Structure 1
Amino acid sequence: MADPVLVFDLDGTLIHSAPEIHGVARDVLAQEGLPELSYELITSFVGNGLPTLVSRILVQLGLPGTGEQHHRMVEHFESIYQQRFDLTSLYPGVMSMLHDLSGRHRLAICTNKPQAPTRAVLAHFGLTDFFSVVIGGDTLPRRKPDPLPLHQAIRDSGGGDAIFVGDSEVDADTARNAQIPFALFTGGYRKTAVEDLGAKWIFDHHDEFRP
């Protein structure tokens, strides 16, 4: 029997991008003449995709979470985000983990980050060749926690057994909805207790994850 497909979330799982997201949000808000929001608050909005992030920012500021301003800010955010990596970093052990796992597993990405910045950040960190399949938040009509993107990533990888690796409540819900075993990286952006996320594997450092 073939080894399972390993499908990875990106932000909070392979890359620590919250400082970058906060920095871009600060610039987008400044251009709109809106006040800056804290790092902690912006980080709490991460996980459900860029349109939802921007919507939550606007609602937090007492503004409509949809409409022309929302659309403009999403476009501006994405245009900056796919070119800026100064504050983004790989979590320790990610590169060695991917080298080890790629020898016997098919690897894929399933993220709510839009496709363009996803591919840009993978290329920036030299990760592109590890992943034959990349599903972004705008690749399909629905995004996580809907199971469609995860199922698509598995199908495009050749099908068979799979494990979804993530860091958050959204990822845990996605795995549950897709009826796929879940592996939890504890160092990401979750707010829920580890034991409440139903993970089959739990790891604090990427050197520890070898399913």
Structure 2
Amino acid sequence: MSPAPALIFDLDGSLIDSLPDLAAAVNRMLATEGRQPMAPDQVRSFVGDGAKILVARVMAERGIDMARHDALAGRLVADYTERSAELTTVYPHVHETLETLRSDGHRLGICTNKPAAATASVLDALGLAPFFDCVIAGDTLAERKPHPAPLRAASAALGVHGLFIGDSEVDARTAEAAGLPFLLFSAGYLRVPRSEIHFTGVFDDFRDLPQLVARVRALT
């Protein structure tokens, strides 16, 4: 039998519900600018393409001069990194499922657009870091998802053909560009109708993931 495929995960909206901390950081930034706070659902609609784009979308929505983008993005990233696990939670059954997948022989990785410092902070705080053999963050390479380079780098680091597991249209596009099967976690931050993206399988309960991976493995 061929080696167990590597399993590469997106982070925000895929393994963790980070929206509460992201929204809190956005609203602390807005408060310093004398602007009204944003509801979490509005922040959710801006998430998925990295911190700089998130800040740009928030600034445009609140009419803040884009000349201040670099300063505000730096401020938000530093603030969020310090407080990235105050309100963030791991989705149900993630820890036990990652343990099962590792026991089944899968090497595990992360491919996220979150900056590396914030990624490391939240993985450590939530007890997820020990599960992963590699982490490719939003500032690890010059390119970010949906460019295929980060996902290809994660796959190369793990040394075996893999699957990508994520929650968004950005993740679906990344997997397609990298030529990897994509498994959709449907309880995350998808911003478009499911019919608009390509995926090999879908799940909304992490307890179903090992069986789904086994079915996909049998077909490839």
Class of the TM-score when normalised by the shorter of the 2 chains: over 0.9
Structural mapping, 1:9-88, within 5 Å: 9-65=10-66, 67=67, 69-84=68-83, 85-88=85-88
String of CA shifts for 1:116-159, please: whole Å, max 9, x gaps.
0001000001111111110111111010000000000111111x
Structure 1 portions without partners, runs of 5+: none
Give the aligned residue type for 1:173. Answer: R
Q: 1:28 to 1:63 in 2, by over 3 A?
A: closer
In the other structure, the counterpart of 2:132 is: 131
Deviation at 1:196, TM superposition (A): 3.2
Partner SS for 1:209:
helix
In the other structure, the counterpart of 1:151 is: 152
Deviation at 1:64, TM superposition (A): 4.2
In the other structure, the counterpart of 1:96 is: 96
In the other structure, the counterpart of 1:165 is: 165
1-side partners of 2:48 and 2:191: how far apart? 11
Farther-moved stretch of structure 1 (120-129 vs 80-89): 80-89
Question: How many percent of aligned residue pairs carry the same amino acid?
Answer: 40
In the other structure, the counterpart of 2:218 is: none
2-side partners of 1:70 and 1:34: how far apart? 15
Give the aligned residue type for 1:177. Answer: A
Partner SS for 1:177:
helix
1-side partners of 2:168 and 2:140: how far apart? 20
2-side partners of 1:176 and 1:29: how far apart? 36
Partner SS for 1:150:
helix
Deviation at 1:63, TM superposition (A): 3.3
2-side partners of 1:9 and 1:64: how far apart? 32
Farther-moved stretch of structure 1 (192-201 vs 82-91): 192-201
Partner SS for 1:6:
strand
Give the aligned residue type for 1:87. Answer: L
1-side partners of 2:162 and 2:121: how far apart? 25
1-side partners of 2:191 and 2:48: how far apart? 11
In the other structure, the counterpart of 1:186 is: 186
Partner SS for 2:82:
coil
Give the aligned residue type for 2:74. Answer: E
Name the structure with the higher helix share: 2
Q: How many residues align?
A: 208
Give the aligned residue type for 2:79. Answer: I
Structure 2 portions without partners, runs of 5+: 214-220
1-side partners of 2:101 and 2:149: how far apart? 24
Partner SS for 1:82:
helix
2-side partners of 1:78 and 1:146: how far apart? 22
Give the aligned residue type for 1:12. Answer: G
In the other structure, the counterpart of 1:7 is: 8
1-side partners of 2:26 and 2:37: how far apart? 8
